[in-house]
Structure 1
Amino acid sequence: MQAAIPSFAKQGKICYSQSLFPYDHFQNVFNLQSAGVVMSKGKGKIMFAAGDMAVYPSHGVGRIENIKVQAIGGIDQSFYVLKILDNDMTIMIPTATSENVGLRPIISRNEVKKVVDILKDRDIKVSPQTWNRRYRDYMDKIKTGSVFEVAVVLRDLLLLKGDKDLSYGERKMMDTAKNLLVKEISLAKQTEEDKVEKQIDKFFE
């Protein structure tokens, strides 16, 4: 069973990803401001370096601020300290499980072309299921962290918007998907976010 998170850990914008922390060791992990070692002593392949950009599912693009080593249950474990660009939230992700939880690099320019192909694809039929079922399905796609799944969600909702009024939840999800895509594509192409957003909008005029 996962240990209860003490109230002080819920303050601010710090999250811990996919880890079970013994309660009496939680304070050791929580201290992000302590002087940390930037080399991994624990298990896990280091895929990113401090300063690298990475994408975390549902949260979007962030910057690896540091790689910290913290003692968990008497065992040193290394963590990526990821700061989400959109809201300054800080997430600590164990390096050993970073791939399993979906942490990945920014897409390449070639992959941007595939995203564009998905957005421009009209040879599809949006499912006629109820809005709440559709909402759950699209949320599952966004949670995968795949930029291509996010593109499918945005395309389908924008096409659906042309035929009917979207629910409040669907409109919020559409905005989320668009923001995730715009942020990552702008970094991949090294261009302004406004320019990327306008290009996406043109696909649906």
Structure 2
Amino acid sequence: MFHVGDSIVYPMQGAGLIEAIEEKEILGQKHRYYMISMPFKRLQVMVPVDKVQKSRIRLVADEPTLKHVLDIFQHGETDTNLSMKERYKINTEKLRTGDFQEGAEVVRDLMRLNKKKPLNASEKQMLDNARKIFTSELGIIRGITESQANELLDKRVG
């Protein structure tokens, strides 16, 4: 169970802050909802408390975890032997887990590939989405803006 004030990550959406836990009646049924502010997307999300485990929402990573992930982001290996179809499938699965490190690997690998040759439309969209999710968590951990988080990533990708 999360609490008001917790910084969380909603897989495929990004990082946010639990601003309230409210009871709402929808379609004649009362449920408790986490009211989550997603500052990087500038939207408000309602997640039923009883569905939070299924949604894979987790707390934002801590600074030691971030340092480890940034080290992997900068120095980890990118498999360039995969076909686009294999890479897309693997990256989609990584993003669905909501795992911070796996999301970082997707961003790193697609950024590296994009430096060598332009990505196709589906991978470009995947990179844009994955990068927004990653930078939203990075921004909350470090207390920096989205543009500062993006600058940090651009400096670290090799």
Larger Rg: 1
Report the counterpart of residue 175 of structure 1 in structure 2.
128
- Cα deviation, residue 162, structure 1: 3.0
Gaps of 5+ in 2: none
Please say if 1:48 is aligned against 2:3. Answer: yes
Which residue of structure 2 lines up, in the alignment, with residue 87 of structure 1? 41
Residue number in structure 1 paired with 2:80: 126
Runs of 4+ in 1 over 6 A off after TM superposition: 72-75
1:1-205 equivalences in 2 (<5 Å): 46-49=1-4, 51-70=5-24, 76-129=30-83, 131-204=84-157
Counterparts in 2 of 1:199 and 1:84: CA distance versus 1, 3 Å: closer
SS of match in other structure, 1:199: helix
TM-score, normalization by structure 1: 0.67
Farther off after superposition, 76-85 or 99-108:
76-85
Higher strand share: 2
Kindly provide the CA deviation profile for residues 47-104 of structure 1, in whole angstroms up to 9, marking residues without a partner as x: 221x432210101012223212245798753211223223333332222331331111
Residue 79 of structure 1 contacts residue 92 of structure 1 at CA under 8 Å; is this kept in 2? yes
State the Cα RMSD in Å: 2.4
Compute the displacement of 1:152 (Å): 0.8
Query: Would the aligned equivalents of 2:35 and 2:47 in 1 still touch at CA under 8 Å?
Result: yes
1:108-148 CA distances to partner (integer Å, 9 max, x unpaired)? 0011112102211243423422x244223212211221111
> Separation in 2 of the partners of 1:72 and 1:193?
34
Alignment partners' CA distance in 1, 2:54 and 2:101: 18
Shift of 1:193: 3.2
Please list every run of 5 or more consecutive structure 1 residues that lacks an aligned counterpart in the other structure.
Answer: 1-45
| Count of residues paired in the alignment | 158
